Amino acid sequence: MSNRIRLQIARYRPEQESEATFDEYEVPYTKEMAVLDGLNFVKDRLDGTLAYRWSCRMGICGSCGMDVNGEPKLTCATFLTDYAPGPVRIAPLRNFPVIRDLIVDIGDFMRKLVKIKPWIVRAAEKPLAEGEYRQTPEELEEYKQFSMCINCMLCYAACPIYGLDPKFIGPAVIALAQRYNLDNRDEGSAERMSVLSEHDGIWGCTFVGECTTVCPKHVDPAGAIQRYKLTAAVESMKSFFAPRGA
Amino acid sequence: MEQTTDVYTPYHPRWLRPRVSTYWWLQKPAYLRFILREGSCMFVGWFTVYLLLLLDAVLEGPLAYEVFLAWSGTPWVLALNVVTLAFVVFHAITFFQAAPQAIVVRLGRTRVPPRAVLLGHYAGWVAVSAIVWFVLLGV
Amino acid sequence: MARRHPEPLLWMLFSAGGVVSGMLMPILVLLFGLAFPLGWLTPPTYDTLRAVLGNPIAALVVFSLCALSLFHWAHRFRHTLYDGLQIKHLNEVIAVVSYGVAVAGSGLAAYLLWQLA
């Protein structure tokens, strides 16, 4: 005898309609079931036309981000019992264009991510004979938190600035830039700064702080952004008063 | 790839782009708190004007100073300043709350704990307030 | 550095203004906004206040408070109109007016304090 809960799932079928609608499904659930399990039940047993993304179902791939009762969540890490007796309103992640049902286009994020060179940038690679790049535990601690990002984009869905101005580069991209800037093996800070210190880079952020609140991996992108603002502002003052390699 | 068309074809689906409402900030308590926090700047601005009026009164002489003090007791000014007090305190608390996320200080190998940065701000607040009190009231 | 723009400087002024106004305004509002008008405490005499404002350090503090608070207001005001009310097409005008008011107010504060020295 299982409990049942109603799911109100957003549907958007571009070949038939130009607005989103909500379809309702009732699913049985146990206390272990996540919202994703509910969606899988709907797709397997009730309505095979439902379209959504998911993969690892354990909070590491970042695919299953959706808007659950108004909050951006990873559906694999959100439990149906927390919404009992329901209904649970599932919509696509906010601030992104919707392709179909619960699937959004994340191309904007992918293009912005590449711009900040999310890899170790070095002027010259050390020859193999010299051995590995060494890093103490303290040096790892400097950037480790920002390396936890799984690119789930819940922070973009939560950021009102990104919603209002899609040119804003966004929280995850800045946090990932910091992950590399603060890595002692990296030498690419200057290159990243020219991208980040544009008007739609870090300066679009007004520290709402919702990105940090919704992040499932505790990356604290808001903190990364504010720290970087300080760094960039100091750099800007330095280059103004003592330009050219001071 | 990023182009969308108004006409649906299987290879260029019509994407849905919901418009952000002008009242987006009423949709979540966190957004409302954010807008209130930003709105506190209006009261910071008002009180700066108030201080400039005070400076001008002092410049004009003892009588003007008395007139200013009397004016500051009129009902609407008083009411405005009550609200101003609430908002500048709210501003101070939220601003100090944000400081530990922005200020990361390293002493040798350890990082100054965020709580210490926060308490440092509050200690400074108390100290500064005490100094102002003593300077103005001498007791 | 990319094409230079004043955002970093404006943000630093905003931050400094936030700290200064956060530290100083609550006590000042409490005293000059409530305690003195309501008679809870006796306001400083004219001579005392004049002497305080004549002191160079105090004058510098008061100037910093007024100037930085105005820049703090200007920056937040401009951003809130842009984000909160989505008044994007007037962005340039609003920025010029806001920071212009801040500059003017700072100038006025400097003038008044200079005269009080």
The string of pLDDT tens digits covering residues C62-79 is: 999 999 999 999 999 998
Strands laid side by side in the A3-11 sheet: A21-29, A3-11, A88-91, A65-68, A71-74
Neighbours of A178 (CB within 10 A): 27
The string of pLDDT tens digits covering residues B2-20 is: 455 556 677 777 899 888 8
Alpha helices by DSSP H, B14-113: 29-60, 62-72, 75-102
Whether residue B34 is contained in a domain is answered as no
Which CA distances in Å does B42 have to A240, B56, C69, C71, C110?
A: 31, 21, 10, 12, 21
B65: domain range?
Answer: 39-137
- Pull the structure tokens for residue A2: 């299982």
pLDDT at A200: 83
pLDDT at C2: 43
Query: Hey, is the C-beta of A236 within 8 angstroms of any chain C C-beta?
Result: yes
Give me the percent of chain A exceeding a pLDDT of 90: 78
3-state secondary structure (DSSP) of residue A229: helix
The total domain count for chain B is 1
Phi, psi of A79 (to 5 degrees): -105, 140
What residues of B are in contact with residue A229 (Cβ under 8 Å)? Answer: 102
Whether residue B130 is contained in a domain is answered as yes
**Mean predicted confidence (pLDDT) in A28-43:** 95
- Pull the structure tokens for residue A137: 């535990």
Which residues neighbour A44 within 8 Å (Cβ) at sequence distance 6 or greater? Answer: none
Give the CATH fold of the A107-241 domain: Fumarate Reductase Iron-sulfur Protein; Chain B, domain 2 (1.10.1060)
Q: Which CATH superfamily does the domain covering A3-104 fall into?
A: Beta-grasp domain (3.10.20.30)
Window A:161-180, CB contacts with C under 8 Å? 161, 164-165
| DSSP code, position A226 | H
In angstroms, the separation between the Cα of residue A243 and the nearest Cα of chain B is 26
- Pull the structure tokens for residue C65: 């408070």
Whether residue B5 is contained in a domain is answered as no
- Measure the CA–CA gap between C35 and C12, rounded to whole angstroms: 33
* Domains along the sequence of chain C with CATH: 11-37+55-116 (1.20.1300.10)
Substitution target in A95, A98, A178, A219 with the highest count of B β-carbons within 10 Å is A98
Contact B25 A18 (CB under 8 A): no
Whether residue B4 is contained in a domain is answered as no
In 3D space, the residue among A115, A90, A236, A91 whose CA is nearest the CA of residue A168 turns out to be A115
Q: What is the mean pLDDT of chain A?
A: 92
CATH value at residue B128: 1.20.1300.10
The β-bridge partners of B76 are none
Using pLDDT thresholds of 50, 70 and 90, give the confidence band for residue C4.
low
Using pLDDT thresholds of 50, 70 and 90, give the confidence band for residue B104.
confident
Query: Per-domain residue ranges for chain A?
Result: 3-104, 107-241
In 3D space, the residue among A97, A95, A115, A94 whose CA is nearest the CA of residue A174 turns out to be A115
Contact A197 C86 (CB under 8 A): no
Neighbours of A106 (CB within 10 A): 21
- Measure the CA–CA gap between A44 and A184, rounded to whole angstroms: 48
Using pLDDT thresholds of 50, 70 and 90, give the confidence band for residue B23.
confident
Using pLDDT thresholds of 50, 70 and 90, give the confidence band for residue A246.
very low
* Out of C1, C12, C83, closest to residue A197 by CB: C1
- Measure the CA–CA gap between C91 and B32, rounded to whole angstroms: 23
In 3D space, the residue among C51, C60, C52, C66 whose CA is nearest the CA of residue C109 turns out to be C66
